Amino acid sequence: MTGTPRFLVVDDERQIRRAVAHVLEPLSGTVSEAATGREALTLAAAESPALVVLDLGLPDMDGIDVCRELRTWSDTPILILTARHDDQATIAALDAGADDYVTKPFSPPALQARVRALLRRAQRSNGSEQGRTVIEAGALRIDLAARTVDRGGERVHLTPTEFDLLATLASNAGRVLTHGFLFTTVWKGRVFGDAQAHLRVHVAHLRRKLEDDPVRPRHLQTELGVGYRFVTD
Amino acid sequence: MPEPSPQRSAQRTRPRALALPAVTRRVRRVRPYVWPLLLAVVIAALIPFRERLEDSHITLALLLVVLVAAADGGRGVGLFSAALAFLGFNWFFLPPYGTLVIADPLDWFVLLAFLGTSVVASHLFHQVQREADEARERTAEMTTLATLGAEAMTAPRAEGALRMVAHTTREALGVQACRVHVLRDGDGRATGTLESATATAELPSSATFPAGEGATDVEPVWLALDRGARVAVLDGGVVRVIASEASSLREALQGERALRLLIPLRAGARSMGVLDVEDAGGLALTDPRERLLAALAYYAALGVERARNERTTERLEAMHEAERMRTAVLASVSHDLRTPLTTIKALAHELGSLGDERSEVIEQEADRLNAFVADMLDMSRLASGRFPMEPTIVPVDELVSAVLQQVEGSFGARPIRVQLPSDDAFPLARFDLTHSARILVNLLENARKYAPGETPVDLTVQRDGAMMRISVADRGPGVPPDERERIFDALYRPAAARPDVGSAGLGLAIARGLAESQGGTLTYAEREGGGSVFTLSLPAAELSDIDAGHGGGA
């Protein structure tokens, strides 16, 4: 990869591609544009972009399939553009390997923030921090090896399931994790009652134990209709 | 009697046994006057030999002719022949010849025996013949009905089935006109309209929709429909309703001549049509004909029922198609609007970064427009009753945090005070998280817009029996008593509202719709000390409910 990051923007609407490119310019990168899924995959293979912004409604192929295909040979962060009322497509794209999503019409600062967070995360996992066992977020210190959590220097008692859930979220900090992903990772597909309700109750418990104000969580954030996101800062 | 429609009679031989109402129709091979003639010939032939023949020979020969006459010509011809033979025998063969005087008392016996045998034989023949006729009539009836049933059920369209019923009924009864009236779109004269399939002598299988064409008087039709009773139009235009207890029309009419008969067609308790037969020459009513009429009415009812079902099906299909179109149009509109909105927002932001302060207004307006599109989409989905709802058990904390995450940006420094149940309980309720969050965001945004200055807004969660009550309270102006329900109407705007506040007034209507479609309620109350309290009530749940009915444990 060269010094300046290269972005790939995929959308069949030229105006949207231009708008996204304007938003990405201040991040001092160069922007390539693709109007179709095929074009996107070709460009992604040729240019190895640092990040892909992908619209789900493409004329030639499903955006979800673009995610899936891209993921077979690339770890580059994928940010999808979606419409409200289309949680199912968003979830499917995230499960197919996308990292985050923004609903149209997006606010430019929010898009910029998401892109920055994804780039940071990608840098971290490529760099020296890979394989680390301790995650720090605000007053929290999560030791993945020792399976302990400290909040402001004090040990917090978590149940094994609560710890697994926190560890999964924290090691994917910045990414949106869907309910389905969390079930299979934390509960390993074991059958139990209302899976989604279990997950929500566990998140609520974690918030009461870890957050300063549980109804205004700083770290364990809800993505309505989609899943959860762990925010480090 | 006019011929049936030519193409029909060419296609199949339709039974015509009942098409001649007044005369009992029989198959006749020989003219009736042939028999007395034959009798005279036989008598004349026997006269030369009368001295040599015994009485029994002569009587047998005459009896043979009488029986054949009775067999062929029926009772009348039989009896006439018997009388003629009796006189001829007496005159020509019983001495003294040429007189009706009988000398020998034994001859009296022969003569009477001859007469008795002739009469009894004629009667027997007549009986047999009548039974044969009846059997033939029944067969014809059965054939008519079977054909009608098959046609009524298989006619390509229900309208065709009704036409078929009208045509067949007219033919089977041999009347001038038959109509099948169907009640449309209502319960009776007040709300409904009539449509009719008509078959007349001039137009044997034509249909006319709607009813009341030409000179047809629809008044008796309505009478039959509304009363659910048979109606007869008598000579001189007298209309008579026949009580449903009266089983026989003929008895009910007591010999009066009916020109038109109307039989209500029933489905369950409702009359949904009328079978209407008319003949200016009068309708002859016999038991078999009444029976046939009742059976035809039954088939007409089947046809009418089919027509109604077909109409309902068509209407449902049209509704589905309209619904599909609407969804497609809305989805397309919302997509097509979002693309320019995205561009506008991005460009406005760019302008803002160049120092143009007006860009913020453009962004806000774009957001408002986007919210409006979302509202329209939601309203339409709520109206169609096809809102995707997924109520699950959710901690109320989660709802509150999701809502705060969305609105606190726009509240700025203005505080939202959250109060959860004071005891250490973990409040759970059953609801759709996304849509409930939308309701509360709406309530909080309203509070921010309508309540003045920096007054805090209170978000309170309380368990109240089987319900979880989540209320948003402000210190705004409140809502006048007469407007407290109207604020939940779509497109309602408070009279005192500033024109730049809020969107099209869909907010609270959508919020209530969303609340109710997940088993909750949304209500307004006056706040003590001034202001408004909006309360969203959702069905409360227990931790134990999560595993209930699923078997496994966490």
Tell which B residues from 286 to 345 touch A, by Cβ distance under 8 Å. 334-335, 338-345
Nearest to B164 by CA among B147, B177, B176: B147
pLDDT (tens digit per residue) in B115-127: 888 888 878 877 8
**Does residue B400 sit at the A interface (CB-CB below 8 Å)?**
yes
Q: What is the number of other CB atoms lying within 10 angstroms of the CB of residue B145?
A: 18
d(C-alpha B459, C-alpha B472), whole Å: 5
Nearest to B523 by CA among B533, B510, B509, B538: B533
What's residue B61's pLDDT? 86
Three-state SS string over B263-301 comes to: EEEEECCEEEEEEEEEEEEEECCCHHHHHHHHHHHHHHH
Answer yes or no: do B394 and A104 touch at CB < 8 A.
no
Nearest to B217 by CA among B188, B194, B241: B194
Mean pLDDT of chain B: 78
The percentage of chain B sitting over the pLDDT mark of 90, rounded to a whole number, equals 10
Beta bridge partners of B469: B462, B537
Cβ-based contacts of B547 with chain A (< 8 Å): 192-194
Cβ-based contacts of B408 with chain A (< 8 Å): 216
pLDDT (tens digit per residue) in A57-66: 888 888 899 9
pLDDT (tens digit per residue) in B206-249: 555 554 444 567 788 888 888 888 888 888 788 888 877 667 77
Q: Is the pTM of this model over 0.90?
A: no
**Over residues B25-29, mean pLDDT:** 48
Q: Is the peptide bond before B427 cis (omega within 30 degrees of 0)?
A: no
Which of B327, B342, B351 has the most A C-beta neighbours within 10 Å, making it the best mutation to test the interface with A? B342
Nearest to A140 by CA among A218, A213, A210: A210
Q: For residue A224, what is the nearest residue in chain B, using CA coordinates?
A: B434
Residue B396, pLDDT above cutoff 90? yes
Q: What is the edge-to-edge ordering of all strands in the sheet holding A78-83? A: A30-34, A6-10, A51-55, A78-83, A100-104
What's residue B87's pLDDT? 85
**Over residues B505-520, mean pLDDT:** 86
d(C-alpha B160, C-alpha B167), whole Å: 10
Which of A20, A215, A219 has the most B C-beta neighbours within 10 Å, making it the best mutation to test the interface with B? A215
What's residue A80's pLDDT? 92
Reported as type and span, the H/E element at residue B69 is helix B55-88
Beta strand pairing call for A78-83 and A51-55:
parallel
Answer yes or no: do B393 and A197 touch at CB < 8 A.
yes
Cβ-based contacts of B546 with chain A (< 8 Å): 193-194, 197-198, 201
Q: What is the number of other CB atoms lying within 10 angstroms of the CB of residue B35?
A: 22
Answer yes or no: do B401 and A215 touch at CB < 8 A.
yes
Three-state SS string over B320-356 comes to: HHHHHHHHHHHHHHHHHHHHHHHHHHHHHHHHHHCCC
Answer yes or no: do B552 and A203 touch at CB < 8 A.
no
The percentage of chain A sitting over the pLDDT mark of 90, rounded to a whole number, equals 46
Answer yes or no: do A108 and B346 touch at CB < 8 A.
yes
Which of A53, A85, A164, A187 has the most B C-beta neighbours within 10 Å, making it the best mutation to test the interface with B? A85
Q: For residue A186, what is the nearest residue in chain B, using CA coordinates?
A: B554
**Does residue A194 sit at the B interface (CB-CB below 8 Å)?**
yes
Encode B201-212: b = buried (16+ Cβ within 10 Å), e = exposed. eeebbebbeebb
Nearest to A73 by CA among A32, A42, A35: A42
Answer yes or no: do A104 and B426 touch at CB < 8 A.
no
Tell which B residues from 424 to 453 touch A, by Cβ distance under 8 Å. 426, 428, 433-434, 437
Q: For residue B352, what is the nearest residue in chain A, using CA coordinates?
A: A108
**Over residues B9-36, mean pLDDT:** 50
**Over residues B160-177, mean pLDDT:** 81
- Is B396 in contact with B427 (CB distance < 8 Å)? yes
d(C-alpha A114, C-alpha B400), whole Å: 24
Q: What is the number of other CB atoms lying within 10 angstroms of the CB of residue A65?
A: 16
Answer yes or no: do B398 and A203 touch at CB < 8 A.
yes
Q: pLDDT band at B534, cuts 50/70/90? A: very high
Question: Residue A109: how many CA atoms within 13 Å on its side-chain side?
Answer: 6
